[in-house]
Structure 1
């Protein structure tokens, strides 16, 4: 049991130390030549027109959120399909309940207008 904790602790330490080491090495080796043009908002040479903070419709964010939720949930169907024969009838009932919950969520998003693009 303590071997599992040691491996997890070692992995955690590695996950913390590695990015710090990589960022330090990049900071030392990367060229640092600041220039007025490089410090502007856009490096393309065109002057920006208008404000950078413009409003977007919330529908775009809702559409992306619904897409992300349903795509992540649909990923759970693949391992279930692979192990279906070993899991038996109980897994079929559980997946049926899971699909009912997804369909209810999809219907709710559709009713609220989250799937309308414009």
Structure 2
């Protein structure tokens, strides 16, 4: 039974080995001198105008959380779509109920104005 895990363990060991070797080689042969130019931020060839440590609006976090919520919806829908014929009417009704609950949540979000930027 344990011999089934040997190929997986070998691949994990090889991945860790190559990762560690790459880090050590880069550390050994890489440049060690830091300068102001090397430590500066570089974006599209433009000089930085102000600090990158600015506060973001809470709206960005709200949109991110809503994206995760509806992304999880898709994660649940994909296996259901693959097995919909085997699940029958009970599986279909369960998914319709799930979708109705998510639609109600989406309508609530729209009514509360969580997606408006004003």
The alignment's TM-score, normalised by the length of structure 2, stands at 0.68
Aligned alpha-carbon RMSD (Å): 3.1
Distance 1:109 1:12, change over 3 A: farther
Q: Select the structure that is richer in helix.
A: 2
Q: Deviations over 1:29-85 (max 9, x none)?
A: 434443321123447473x43443323221122112212320232233233222211
The equivalent of 2:73 in structure 1 is: 73
The equivalent of 2:53 in structure 1 is: 53
Q: What are the ranges of 5 or more consecutive residues in structure 2 without an aligned counterpart?
A: none
Q: What are the ranges of 5 or more consecutive residues in structure 1 without an aligned counterpart?
A: none
Aligned length: 117
